């Protein structure tokens, strides 16, 4: 069922038992596991329904934060689901590196193709992602690419929203139930500015500096030269206080950013970022 057919509203929620029953009929299944709570819940349900006929597939590459890959490995281990790691390099696609507003379409198209290339010789019949109903209200070119490839959204099909996902993840003891949402590193780069491996590495290093200082929700957004630091609204006061503010500016300047702004408004969600 496509996102257009699902729509942003729900008339009721299918309980976890119902989702498991649906997944149990899917045959060999691959779950795109990012390390976030949404795809983790799908991986958990698929493994409960199918056992070792379900496999989690995690993608790595220059646009994927290292911490996200580590989180996916830890979560798959906690669930017990087999995990496969595939390397995907979206920088090989000039349509992606040009960073248009539909950049995510080209990235997800390549990722879906990589997962299906792995799955085809293994007779994988069903491909799943962690999209839920709240995601359908955003403009998500990447979602269109996944749907064109035939990926299903069991959470959205079951009427689940983000609050339902987090509640269930907590109930079943998933270690990342309250983990802040993340997105690929390219989402930090202003549309129209070229994406490169050095720039993505620069962004990742900057965000790691902040994470090491104890900030939980972090975005370092850039136009390719300057950096704007966003942290969770409840963390802004700590970011702006001295000596933290000067130390963060100095660390990010040392990474090569020409100007560093500490955003006093804090993190604001963008579409998928």
CA–CA separation, 232 and 112 (whole Å): 31
Confidence grade of residue 140 (pLDDT, cut at 50, 70, 90):
confident
| 272 pLDDT more than 80 | no
SS (H, E, C) the chain: CCHHHHCCCCCCCCCHHHHHHHHCCCCCEEEECCCCHHHHHHHHHHHHHHHHHEEEEEEECCCCCHHHHHHHHHHHHHHCCCEEEEECCHHHCHHHHCCCCCHHHHHHHHHHHHHHHHHHHHCCCEEECCCCHHHHHCCCHHHHHHHHCCCECHHHHCCCCHHHHHHHHHHHCCCCCCCCCCCCHHHHECCCCCCCHHHHHHHHHHHHHHHHCCCCCEEEEECCCCEEEEECHHHHHHHHCCCHHHHHHHHHHHCCCCCEEECCCCCCCCCCC
Dihedral class, residue 215 (left if φ above 0, else alpha if ψ from -120 to 50, else beta): beta
Over range 238-266, report the average pLDDT: 97
Over range 100-115, report the average pLDDT: 96
Report angle CA 155, 149, 143 to the nearest 5 degrees.
Answer: 50
Is the alpha carbon torsion for 194, 197, 206, 86 positive or negative? Answer: positive
| 267 pLDDT more than 90 | yes
What are the residues whose beta carbons fall under 8 Å from the beta carbon of 174, sequence distance 6 or more? 37, 40, 41, 44, 75, 78, 79
Exposure pattern of 133-164 as b/e (b: 16+ CB <10 Å)?
bbbbeeebbbbbbbbebebbbbbbbbbbbeeb
| 111 pLDDT more than 60 | yes
Determine the pLDDT at residue 31: 98
Share of the chain above pLDDT 70, in %: 94
Determine the pLDDT at residue 124: 98
Nearest to 186 by CA among 82, 59, 97, 75: 97
Q: Per residue in 142-169, pLDDT tens?
A: 999 999 999 999 999 999 999 999 999 9
Domain architecture of the chain: domains with CATH? 3-172 (3.40.50.620), 185-262 (no CATH)
Determine the pLDDT at residue 74: 96
Determine the pLDDT at residue 139: 74
How far out from the chain centre does Cα 46 lie? 19
The tokens describing 180, both together, are 């802040």
Q: Per residue in 42-51, pLDDT tens?
A: 999 999 999 9
Determine the pLDDT at residue 126: 98
Bridge partners (DSSP) of residue 15 are none
Q: Per residue in 167-216, pLDDT tens?
A: 999 999 999 999 988 889 999 999 999 999 999 999 999 999 999 999 99
CA–CA separation, 270 and 187 (whole Å): 9
Over range 238-245, report the average pLDDT: 98
Determine the pLDDT at residue 181: 86
| 258 pLDDT more than 90 | yes
The mean pLDDT of the chain is 94
Determine the pLDDT at residue 163: 97
Over range 11-21, report the average pLDDT: 91
């Amino acid at each position: 069922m496509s996102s257009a057919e699902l729509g942003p509203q729900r008339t009721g929620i299918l309980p976890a038992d119902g989702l498991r029953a649906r997944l149990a009929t899917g045959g060999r299944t691959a779950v795109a596991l990012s390390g976030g709570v949404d795809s983790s819940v799908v991986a958990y349900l698929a493994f409960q329904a199918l056992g070792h006929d379900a496999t989690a597939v995690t993608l790595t590459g220059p646009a994927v934060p290292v911490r996200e890959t580590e989180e996916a490995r830890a979560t798959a281990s906690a669930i017990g689901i087999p995990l496969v790691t595939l390397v995907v390099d979206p920088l090989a696609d000039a349509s992606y590196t040009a960073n248009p507003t539909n950049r995510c379409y080209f990235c997800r198209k390549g990722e879906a193709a990589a997962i299906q290339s792995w799955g085809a010789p293994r007779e994988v019949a069903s491909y799943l992602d962690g999209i839920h109903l709240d995601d359908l209200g955003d403009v998500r070119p990447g979602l269109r690419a996944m749907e064109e490839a035939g990926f299903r959204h069991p959470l959205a099909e079951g009427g689940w929203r983000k609050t339902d996902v987090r509640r269930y993840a907590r109930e079943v003891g998933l270690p990342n139930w309250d983990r802040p949402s993340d997105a690929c590193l390219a989402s930090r780069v202003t549309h129209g500015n070229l994406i490169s491996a050095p720039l993505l590495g620069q962004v990742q290093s900057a965000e790691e500096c902040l994470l090491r200082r104890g900030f939980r929700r972090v975005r370092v957004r850039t136009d390719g030269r300057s950096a704007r630091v966003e942290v969770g609204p409840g963390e802004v006061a700590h970011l702006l206080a001295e000596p933290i503010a000067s130390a963060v500016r100095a660390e990010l300047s040392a990474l090569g950013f020409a100007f560093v702004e500490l955003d006093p408004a804090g993190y604001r969600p963008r579409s998928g970022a």
